[in-house]
Structure 1
Amino acid sequence: MADGERSVLVWLTESTWPACVDAARDRAPYDAVVLLHVSDDEVAAAAHHAYTGLLGRGHHPGRDPGARLEALSGTAAAELLEAAAHRLDRPCERRELHGRVEHEVVRAAAGADLLVCARDGERDRPGPHSLGHATRFVVDHAPCPVLLVWPYGEE
């Protein structure tokens, strides 16, 4: 980003990304938009460890479900970032991170002027239950202002 540019970080998840992108496009007149998706590697790691633990040394690396899950996750993240950029319909940076989701989002928000994210908990229970664990952590620890939006229904 150039000096003096203001930035918005849009945290994308599979179930809430359209509302976040629309909020960034319609309510955040910032110069630079960063679309962020974080893949949690714990599922792939668990599948890998289960496979190696169950079959010991006689397993075939090409059949490791952990590796297949990592590949599928990467493809899904790239497709989600592409769809979000198309919906945003203006220049943006796409960023894909891996790790513990809530920690990666907070780290990525360190240089942002605004973080856009969506409620992801129980929609019919406003209050603390309308935020999932990761979103609650991000809202509580974000180093910048947070725009918290309601997700849309099925799209």
Structure 2
Amino acid sequence: MRVIVWLVEGTWPASVDAAREHAGAASEVVLLHVTEPGVAGLAHGAFSGLLGRAGSGPDPERRLAELGGQSAVELLDAAEARLGLPCTRLERTGRVEREVVAAAEGAGLLIVARDGDRSRLGPHSLGRAARFVVDHAPCPVLLVWPEGAPDLTTMPPAPPHHH
């Protein structure tokens, strides 16, 4: 069984810990990091439009792309060390949620950390990207709470029952 672990800044340790706990029988553990190309592209656009003087200094796009790639490598290094198991590293670039769904094709399990409001139970604990992945994943999904689940008292009351 192939297990995909989606690594996201800030929540990746919980995803890696879940893989260690639940992926014992996995034939392959894949650490997945996706970089959204928009950040570097936006910097380039803002720079080239700056007072119409496109050639007046070093373009920050390349530097930002290098920094983004460096942090991805560091994140993958840290995740691999924390996992402590043989694994495959997969770096993709594109619309994050779509790249994660595509990477999960043929997998036996996809591990996703909640990325929304994690102070209370409920649908808002999933942000836009995680909601898309959960709704479209072509395999079973293990959804983890990065800091542990909130207390059951945070669940909204049940709606009144109508006959």
Q: Which has the higher helix share?
A: 1
Contact 1:9-1:33 within 8 A present in 2 as well: yes
SS of residue matched to 1:111: coil
Runs of 4+ in 1 over 4 A off after TM superposition: none
Match of 2:111 among 113, 116, 123: 116
Distance 2:88 2:96 in 1: 19
Contact 1:21-1:84 within 8 A present in 2 as well: yes
Question: Structure 1's 17 and 58: CA in aligned 2 closer, same or farther, altered over 3 A?
Answer: closer
SS of residue matched to 1:117: strand
Distance 2:43 2:85 in 1: 38
Distance 1:57 1:111 in 2: 49
Match of 2:29 among 23, 26, 33: 33
The residue that corresponds to 1:100 in the other structure is 95
Q: Which moved further from structure 2: 50-59 or 143-152?
A: 50-59
Superposed CA RMSD in Å reads 1.4
- Give the AA of the match of 1:54: L
SS of residue matched to 1:33: strand
If you compute each CA radius of gyration, which structure gives the higher value, 1 or 2? Answer: 2
The residue that corresponds to 1:51 in the other structure is 47
Match of 1:82 among 69, 77, 83: 77
Deviation of the 1:125 alpha carbon? 2.7
Distance 1:58 1:123 in 2: 43
Deviation of the 1:151 alpha carbon? 0.4
Deviation of the 1:111 alpha carbon? 2.0
Contact 1:119-1:150 within 8 A present in 2 as well: yes
Question: Structure 1's 55 and 141: CA in aligned 2 closer, same or farther, altered over 3 A?
Answer: same
Pairs within 5 Å for 1:8-27:
8-27=3-22
> 1:73-124: CA deviations, max 9, x gaps?
0000000000000011011000111111000000000121100010011111
TM-score (norm 2): 0.85
Deviation of the 1:17 alpha carbon? 0.4
Give the total of aligned pairs: 147
Q: Which moved further from structure 2: 50-59 or 79-88?
A: 50-59
SS of residue matched to 2:31: strand
The residue that corresponds to 2:68 in the other structure is 73
Contact 1:18-1:152 within 8 A present in 2 as well: no
